Amino acid sequence: MQFDGAVIKEQGITFAIVVVKPHILNNSNDRENARQGFASYFPGIPLILMAQDSRGIPTYHGRQDIVKFLANIHPSRIQWKHYTS
């Protein structure tokens, strides 16, 4: 499996973001499957799913306080990493 993600520590909270395809965010079963699949890479920390539309505008799904924080951060400021298993 290959994916892009990031681990961020901000305001005393450590969380992970994983980039997914937009259709994943639109289906609750797909979101839950994605969350379970990525949980082993980021054990014990909140996991946020992120998809971008055709213009590169992100949509986040997960813990609401973290989603609100990320809504004010441009994705280019996140230090993304390419994960390969």
What pLDDT does residue 68 have?
A: 96
> Topology of 2-84 in CATH?
Trna Endonuclease; Chain: A, domain 1 (3.40.1350)
Q: What is the DSSP track for 2-64?
A: EEEEEEEEETTEEEEEEE--HHHHT-HHHHHHHHHHHHTTSTTS-EEEEEE-TT--EEEES-H
Judge contact between 37 and 26, C-beta under 8 A. Answer: no
Q: What percent of the chain has pLDDT over 90?
A: 92
What pLDDT does residue 1 have?
A: 84
The tokens for 44 are 């014990």
What pLDDT does residue 2 have?
A: 94
pLDDT at 48 over 90: yes
What residue segments make up the domains of the chain, in order of their start? Answer: 2-84
| pTM for the predicted model, two decimal places | 0.93
